[in-house]
Structure 1
């Protein structure tokens, strides 16, 4: 009998989670689809030691939860969801109904735990329990006003005491509460006041950059209730396990986004995934799209994918078909919502899908852990899952009408906040194909770079530009000298420190804009200038833009009266290709071990900007 993922995890727990079996843990967790199984897996995983997990290359995340009710379920579910992506949560779990004390007391255990994210999980009882037993509709209005003021205080205090994210949830209004009011006009007023409270709570995320709010109502469905009355009464668990699982999915997506782990590319099968039927058997005109009721479901699925693409998600194809047939269909079927130009990579051959996804990863120059794979075939999904457990594999279901919901519920691509460049990402990758054509036609790298007509602007980012800086720090892996991840509020806090600065890199060439593609963090200590981090997008590798920016920075440091530049490189599995970056640019190694290497540049020889780059710099207008 085939072992279920939950049984496999239970067996690992009984064996003490042997270190050689930890890689398979991620694969088993990724295959779990039900809330109950995720909960039970999370209970099994309570004994997984953080130290052993880190030794195997796993990462950890400090996460705090406070609530007005018993909430252990969401902690166990979060453990399963995070470990499915290779991240072990280190929890601070507040005592029952201590959220007010924890968030307002500057010396609370919560703040001493230095959480990277804190979930303040509340339900309607956080308002109702503060009213008298014989409340009137007007009492609820005042109670909601008081609660909003309290939550605003929490946001203010948290900003002063912590650097992580603070996540609230809207308070769902239960029918049981509403039905205790026998006055229909009173019920209408309660519903209106409650809706206004939730709208004002959601608006807190616009006022405070460190605050995010999950709309609980949007997660509720006919499939599960707001709460189980028996558990609510006897165990004070005031939300159903299914709702807590859905909330955990939202929180996990925020955790991944805050660590730069949001997925980047959606890889799609074709036959019976993007259209109905088999292209090789049914032909271009025979596949189902707008020509049948079932086909309309595939069209709707494509429309959802198109919306994801418009927000920066790269699209790719992995299909066991003849490439020529695929290209012809994409060009000839006018009822295809997705056109050939929507795809950044197309791999159509008869090789295993796991090989195709590796090819797509290499073509787009992104890690395979940035991919999400959708295929109607259980065989293909399992083959990819076994070979690449780091790839998120989506089972779309048996009916194309359910495909869209199965894809979006995973929150695979969610960011803390999109910026203008996200909306241009697909176009940027399409433009890259023109550059590759020029590169192939050029006689040498030097000739290619000269014909590109590269321009580089170095400037001090401000306002909304800081969101892009934060996104680069979160999502850049290959050229990231220290892999220090920073939210937008942390970027602002960094800049607020005396003698600290950031230089943003914005580039363009004859084919168009690259956008903001890098940044350099620095601070001054006496006569030394420290590079705290240097980041560059993989889209502009092999252009020497990093050399131009660094050499201009070295020259500026000399003019500022600095005697040396110091920098550190912290090795990771993904940034090995820049291990020698500083030595290649005139730095000497001053200290090093397995955890870091420290370098020094004496600023003796003049630094030269490559002559194929036209450089404009304004950051030097800001003196140190």
Structure 2
């Protein structure tokens, strides 16, 4: 409580001194410690700041351009959204449409909404959506007709948004709460039940409009109202045309911020768990492995519910790890005991059990997995340990558990740290691939030299036109790959689909397999052809396969293919980001020469005279189109 109060006092002191802009880098940490009421005030104060001043003082601050429109007054959403985004380190650059003008905003290509060039457009459907067109006397059937008209209108507006908004922008809709003051205007219980069924079908149809590739997302507000959030404010609705309660808008803003973070590819990758008081009841060093695993009490059942939540997250690609102050042997025994108990040693890709600093343990886990420490979520019931990790692992998310295990699941899921636009098959198999990686590392350590290790991997690489079902995975790579991303460009599924429809463009999926397993889609190539040759617009490769020569094989194969296709040259570029400095030398190492250099870009050209070989340990199959392929064995590609 002292830390929470201290954060509130520091925030207010910064505001009073007029230093919120200067200290903006501290804002996410301070907001993470505030409760909902304090966060509401902070949002109203932050919303007064000029985003351009923040960017001038902190040029590296990631920003999100969001347009807000709706059926009624929605201005109250902006402060809440400002605070929620700031909690995640994102600066809101807002546009608020006129009251009730969502049709004009979305249908008119010259509207202020499109002039704002939003990354996200929030079209808020308040509780009076549909009802403003229903007149008495009415029956459930009349409501069904109006609901269908509303759905068709929204579908049309979604098409307009796709046509007029910037490439990659997403239109966000929401389900509509059904109010008691409408259901109970029907005195017949059968008719009331029919209305309930119609309304749920309407909301189900809205949810089915979700299509990440088409740039449409739908927020489900039912979990908020089911948690006790009142949807409407009759008084403000009557006098100010503001039909959503402040609590509903705050919950909406929280979910919208999670969506914005997911759209940027900022999902966390690994959940690091404490054991004592977090994953099980009791203290391992005092109670022993068998007792802490017991599940014969109601309290133990609460821990079991939390473990099932963790198991569900793991099934969708969240990596699990342990960081516990315990001796390693008892931890191994406890995790291995009772085969019917959810979660065992095999479910964790890394286990750190010692008596050292948990901040150091979390950093070691991230290093072992080859991920950034900022991609970690740390959950612990100890306030002290959470503060150690918060201070020692900047960027890591810290989940505030306590002594009540029944609240563990709710607190872990509160900030949707692992949300992604859609879960891919590669996600579901992530843990298995990290275990395969561990096998590779053991084989590498046993090999006489690295070259022998690579030859024994039996690496096969297939690079060819991306199939439709691979679009989500390629978008995920584009959004989340930082280390090997030649230009840093981030593309959504909708943008990738549009590129793939261009007859002069190439979107190649890079797939890899070796003796330890199938890695699936591990990279992507974005290219374009014209009279000047092949333009390599970007190349991304997952960090988990770097060091195997896959990226070298693909680039060498592209150069050979370009010459066989009698293209005059291959052009490429490198643009600096916070993480891709090492790739500046990638193209020159393959025979490209620099043609232009500035602070923001280096351009290269390969005249296709002397070509680099495909690494001898990689068997490459390269297909520029579905009908045009070349097989590359060893270092001598056959003719295309």
Q: What's the TM-score once normalised by structure 1's chain length? A: 0.96
Q: Find the aligned partners of 2:76 and 2:12 in 1 and give their Cα distance.
A: 18
Q: Which residue among 56, 73, 87 is the counterpart of 1:70?
A: 73
Q: CA deviation at 1:235?
A: 3.5
* Greater mean deviation of Cα atoms: 137-146 or 535-544: 137-146
Q: CA deviation at 1:234?
A: 3.5
| Residue 152 (str. 1) matches residue 145 (str. 2) | no
Given that 1:476 and 1:536 are in contact with CA atoms closer than 8 Å, whether structure 2 keeps it comes out as yes
Deviations 1:406-450 (A, max 9, x none): 112221111111111111111111111111100110111101101
Given that 2:569 and 2:605 are in contact with CA atoms closer than 8 Å, whether structure 1 keeps it comes out as yes
Q: Secondary structure at the match of 1:579?
A: helix
Q: Find the aligned partners of 1:407 and 1:31 in 2 and give their Cα distance.
A: 15
Q: Which residue of 1 is the match for residue 463 of structure 2? A: 458
Q: Find the aligned partners of 2:213 and 2:188 in 1 and give their Cα distance.
A: 38
Given that 1:385 and 1:391 are in contact with CA atoms closer than 8 Å, whether structure 2 keeps it comes out as yes
Given that 1:10 and 1:44 are in contact with CA atoms closer than 8 Å, whether structure 2 keeps it comes out as no
Q: Which residue of 2 is the match for residue 28 of structure 1? A: 30
Change (3 A) 1:35 1:207: closer
* Greater mean deviation of Cα atoms: 184-193 or 366-375: 184-193
Q: Which residue among 2, 8, 11 is the counterpart of 2:10?
A: 8
* Greater mean deviation of Cα atoms: 565-574 or 43-52: 43-52
Q: Which residue among 420, 432, 439 is the counterpart of 2:444?
A: 439
- 5 Å matches for 1:24-423? 24-32=26-34, 34-54=35-55, 55-132=58-135, 134-162=137-165, 163=167, 164-205=169-210, 209-287=214-292, 289-334=294-339, 336-423=341-428
Q: Find the aligned partners of 1:147 and 1:82 in 2 and give their Cα distance.
A: 30
Q: Find the aligned partners of 1:364 and 1:21 in 2 and give their Cα distance.
A: 33
Q: Secondary structure at the match of 1:507?
A: strand
Deviations 1:325-374 (A, max 9, x none): 21121112445311111111111222222211111111111111211111
Q: Which residue of 2 is the match for residue 477 of structure 1? A: 482
Q: CA deviation at 1:81?
A: 1.8
Q: CA deviation at 1:69?
A: 2.3
Change (3 A) 1:221 1:397: farther
Structure 2: gaps of 5 or more residues:
629-639
Q: Secondary structure at the match of 1:72?
A: coil
Change (3 A) 1:83 1:222: closer
Q: CA deviation at 1:531?
A: 1.1
Change (3 A) 1:99 1:19: closer
* Count of residues in correspondence between the two structures: 623
- 5 Å matches for 1:512-551? 512-551=517-556
Change (3 A) 1:208 1:483: closer
Change (3 A) 1:410 1:127: same
Q: CA deviation at 1:600?
A: 1.8
Q: Which residue of 2 is the match for residue 564 of structure 1? A: 569
Q: Find the aligned partners of 2:337 and 2:140 in 1 and give their Cα distance.
A: 61
Q: Which residue among 586, 594, 602 is the counterpart of 2:599?
A: 594
Q: CA deviation at 1:172?
A: 0.8
Q: CA deviation at 1:521?
A: 0.4
Given that 2:303 and 2:406 are in contact with CA atoms closer than 8 Å, whether structure 1 keeps it comes out as yes
Deviations 1:594-618 (A, max 9, x none): 2222222221102310111111222
* Greater mean deviation of Cα atoms: 205-214 or 320-329: 205-214
Deviations 1:138-166 (A, max 9, x none): 33222212111111111121122223111
Q: Find the aligned partners of 1:53 and 1:575 in 2 and give their Cα distance.
A: 25
Q: CA deviation at 1:471?
A: 1.2
Q: CA deviation at 1:510?
A: 0.7
Q: CA deviation at 1:14?
A: 3.0
Deviations 1:387-415 (A, max 9, x none): 33411111124310111111122211111
Q: Which residue among 573, 581, 584 is the counterpart of 2:578?
A: 573
Q: CA deviation at 1:505?
A: 0.8
Change (3 A) 1:579 1:494: same
Q: Find the aligned partners of 2:391 and 2:174 in 1 and give their Cα distance.
A: 36
Deviations 1:251-305 (A, max 9, x none): 1122111111011111111110000111111111232541322111111111110
Given that 1:13 and 1:47 are in contact with CA atoms closer than 8 Å, whether structure 2 keeps it comes out as no
Given that 1:375 and 1:394 are in contact with CA atoms closer than 8 Å, whether structure 2 keeps it comes out as yes
* Greater mean deviation of Cα atoms: 92-101 or 154-163: 154-163
Q: Find the aligned partners of 1:148 and 1:47 in 2 and give their Cα distance.
A: 36
Change (3 A) 1:106 1:56: closer
Change (3 A) 1:158 1:234: same
Deviations 1:445-502 (A, max 9, x none): 1011011111111111121111211111111111111121111111011122241111
Q: Find the aligned partners of 1:73 and 1:512 in 2 and give their Cα distance.
A: 52
Q: Secondary structure at the match of 1:505?
A: strand
* Greater mean deviation of Cα atoms: 435-444 or 54-63: 54-63
Change (3 A) 1:300 1:458: same
Change (3 A) 1:73 1:321: farther
| Residue 488 (str. 1) matches residue 493 (str. 2) | yes
Given that 2:281 and 2:292 are in contact with CA atoms closer than 8 Å, whether structure 1 keeps it comes out as yes
Q: Secondary structure at the match of 2:600?
A: coil
Q: Find the aligned partners of 1:36 and 1:458 in 2 and give their Cα distance.
A: 52
Change (3 A) 1:320 1:48: farther
Change (3 A) 1:382 1:238: farther
Q: Find the aligned partners of 2:602 and 2:611 in 1 and give their Cα distance.
A: 24
Q: CA deviation at 1:583?
A: 1.8
* Greater mean deviation of Cα atoms: 34-43 or 6-15: 6-15
* Greater mean deviation of Cα atoms: 44-53 or 608-617: 44-53
Q: Find the aligned partners of 1:550 and 1:585 in 2 and give their Cα distance.
A: 8
Q: CA deviation at 1:66?
A: 0.8
Change (3 A) 1:259 1:295: same
* Greater mean deviation of Cα atoms: 122-131 or 310-319: 122-131
Q: CA deviation at 1:542?
A: 0.6
